[in-house]
Amino acid sequence: MRRASLLLLILVLSFIHLMGQEDIPMSDSIDVEEVFISATRASKSDPITFQNIPARKIEKIYAGQDPSVLLQQLSPSIVSYSDAGTDIGNYAQFRMRGMSQSRINVTLNGVPLNDMLDQGVFFSNFSDFGNSIESIQVQRGVGSSSVGVASYGGAINFESTNVFKGDASTELQLTTGSFGTLRTSAEIKTGRMKNNIGAYGRVSRTSVDGYKSHSASDSYSIFGSVGWAGDRDVIKLTGFMGKTQNDQSYLPVLLSDIDADPKTNYNHPNDTDDFEQELVQLQWNRSLTEDARLDATLYYGGARGVFPFAIDDETQFVFGLANDHYGFLSNFTYEIWNVSFKAGLQAYQFDRTNFEYVAPNVSNPYDRDNSSKSEVSAYGKVNYDMGDLSFYGDVQFRSVGIDLSPDEKLGTGLDLEESWFFINPVLGLNYKLNDQSQAYLSIGRSGREPTRSDIRNGVTKEEYATDLELGWKYNDKKWAVGANLFHMKFDDEISSVGALQSQSYMEIRQNVADSRRSGLELQLGYKSSDALGLSLNGAYMSTHVSEFNNGTETFTDVEHIFAPKLVLRPQLEYKMSNTLEFVVSGRHVSSAFMELANIPSFNLPAHTVVNAQVNVAITSNAHMNIMLNNLTNQRYFTDGAPVDLDFDGIVEGPGYRIQPPRHIYVMFTLKL
């Protein structure tokens, strides 16, 4: 009832306000696509640690990779890993500042992509997603208020392809290469037509054998947008759908078995999941005056599928789910004199059914339960410009409720109803040093509720992060520099302990009372001419957990898991001519612990990977990109866990998820 009242109130107030306005033409200088993301993204003068990544940077390295892999190449403090040992196909995940993506807010045009209950994002369900992205904003730390799950460790905001930009075109893409990779994609763009309508559509198919044994992936996806831009209004309908079948390969493998066969896969050859996911969003933006805008979005997201786990050739357990996600959000932006004000409201309902059965008894599950989650949140942001100095204030209110219900017939599942209320404030200052540089300081606090999986494993306490960010940015014709110091203090952090749930890819987590992460992040770009460019993304981080108990023993003053102290990514670009360009890049990741007791033998070794890329313009409309990865053929790992082979509580040793050896991708692009 409270949610319905709030929605009705904002709609009525908006209608009354709009009816009282004269026609105000939307300024030609305003990008009609950006109106849908401007309210939820950080702006240039906001004292937030963020990075904007335009389409040209994405397209330069994109060949069909999972977005997790793209983000690792484009932004500091991000490390990704793949289950199957490939950049394309199957499952990939990333960590930011050592925190898994279930603690990162991920949106498309401001609409949540996270699973609301598990709070993660499974890009594999809608493959080739990066092919339909206009820009990405990466916020590190608490950041500014966002819809969806809490922006706890950071936020990733994707903007879909601009339907009004450029001329009408058709583009065909083909990626082939190692591990049996074959990706085909076809897309059509109209640009802004005479009737002020623009449209975009893409269809893709991706198949990969995988590096590890029986780790193949087969998927297709469809992405489309259509928009209309009037004098005062912009209306846009965007949607995607994907269906994927992945051979399971998530179990970490003992080093002795990797030594014997690097492609070893502990998952059974018959374990192939089958998932589909879709999202549709209807967005409307109205220019109320020259200085005020209002937007509203209705959206629906759904996912369903099964993933199996065979314990032998005779017995296979199958775990399945079905999600429905309904939501509404609205943002209001107003600028007057030297004050910018933004406010917003979000409400959603997320429902899920989980079930388990022994194959092939699909109609007779032995376990089934229902889960639901609802949220109403609101935020307000203000930026007050006092000349060279600007003040920023941001506060978000989140009311969240979770209801876990047992199945009425089977009597299985938890019976729990829990709610939380969070106030997430951010305060900051931005100082313009000169025309080329600025410095900023901010402090923010964010609270986050446990996931469904956490609750089922006994974690019901919320966690809080207090984030201090100090940064400096510099830009001129040759240099682009960004540097920031951060200190994140956590209370009751829901920390990974370094083990997987039995027969699962899910991490086991528990509350730790006191912990922190501190570090320095650097982005450096130098372009001496049109021919030569240098860049460096880097991060140094230290972490600390005051106390951790594994159930039998207490450990003090330990480090977080999967939190390497040093991550560096240098890159050199050399454009030999208008038709030929060479790129060489590297990535160094220092060692990290894989379990919270910090036993020295349970760690991920440091690794350094060197990649190269050759870009060839065959004609003005035909291009070829050759990507040579891991040139030194280094065996390396970016994820792992203690291995309990028989799930009997006895750990045989450290296990690893191996990443790809030397491999090649070739992508052909034809524009018509």
pLDDT(7) > 70: no
Whether the Cβ atoms of residue 92 and residue 82 lie closer than 8 Å to each other: yes
> How many angstroms separate the CA atoms of 471 and 143, rounded?
13
Look at residues 358, 383, 644, 367 and name the one whose alpha carbon lies nearest to residue 501: 644
pLDDT tens-digit map of 574-593: 999 999 999 999 999 999 99
Look at residues 325, 400, 402, 401 and name the one whose alpha carbon lies nearest to residue 369: 402
pLDDT(668) > 90: yes
pLDDT tens-digit map of 424-440: 999 999 999 999 999 99
Res. 33 pLDDT band, cuts 50 70 90: low
Q: Note the maximum CA span of the chain.
A: 75
Which two tokens mark 193? 């037509």
**Helix boundaries (H) for 311-393:** none
Which two tokens mark 224? 């489309």
pLDDT(2) > 70: no
- Terminal-to-terminal C-alpha distance of the chain: 53
At 506 the pLDDT is: 76
Look at residues 415, 352, 375 and name the one whose alpha carbon lies nearest to residue 118: 352
Count how many domains the chain has: 1
Query: Which range, of 31-40, 190-199, 372-381, 532-541, averages the lowest pLDDT?
Result: 31-40
The amino acid at 77: S
Res. 259 pLDDT band, cuts 50 70 90: very high
Cβ neighbors of 4 (< 8 A, separation 6 or more) are none
> How many angstroms separate the CA atoms of 279 and 241, rounded?
7
Residues in a beta bridge with 289: none
Q: Mark residue 128 as left, alpha or beta (left: phi above 0; alpha: psi -120 to 50; beta: remaining).
A: left
Kindly report the CATH number assigned to the domain that includes residue 343.
2.40.170.20
State the DSSP string of 114-140. S-TTT----GGGGTTGGGGEEEEEEEE
At 415 the pLDDT is: 86
> How many angstroms separate the CA atoms of 274 and 236, rounded?
31
Q: Which domain holds residue 108?
A: 2-671
Question: Angle at the Cα of 149 (from 145 to 153), degrees rounded to 5?
Answer: 70
The amino acid at 543: T
pLDDT(358) > 70: yes
Res. 246 pLDDT band, cuts 50 70 90: very high
The bridge status of strand 78-82 relative to strand 154-160 is unpaired
Res. 22 pLDDT band, cuts 50 70 90: very low
| 387 φ, ψ (degrees, to nearest 5) | 85, -120
Cis peptide before 76 (omega within 30 of 0): no
pLDDT(503) > 70: no
pLDDT(16) > 60: no
> How many angstroms separate the CA atoms of 5 and 7, rounded?
5
The amino acid at 368: R
Burial class (CB in 10 A: 0-12, 13-18, 19+), 313: exposed
* Composition of the chain by helix, strand, coil, percent to 5: 10, 60, 35
Res. 410 pLDDT band, cuts 50 70 90: confident
Report the 3 state secondary structure along 166-233: CCCEEEEEEEEECCCEEEEEEEEECCCCCCCEEEEEEEEEEEECCCCCCCCEEEEEEEEEEEEECCCE
> How many angstroms separate the CA atoms of 458 and 234, rounded?
47
Residues in a beta bridge with 625: 615, 667
Q: What's the mean pLDDT in 138-150?
A: 90
At 120 the pLDDT is: 92
Q: What is the pTM of this model?
A: 0.93
Residues in a beta bridge with 48: none
What per-residue string of b and e applies to 640-661 under the rule 16 or more CB within 10 Å gives b? Answer: bbbbbeeeeeeeeebbbbbbbb
pLDDT(92) > 60: yes
At 93 the pLDDT is: 94
Helix (H, G, I), strand (E, B) or coil at 453: helix
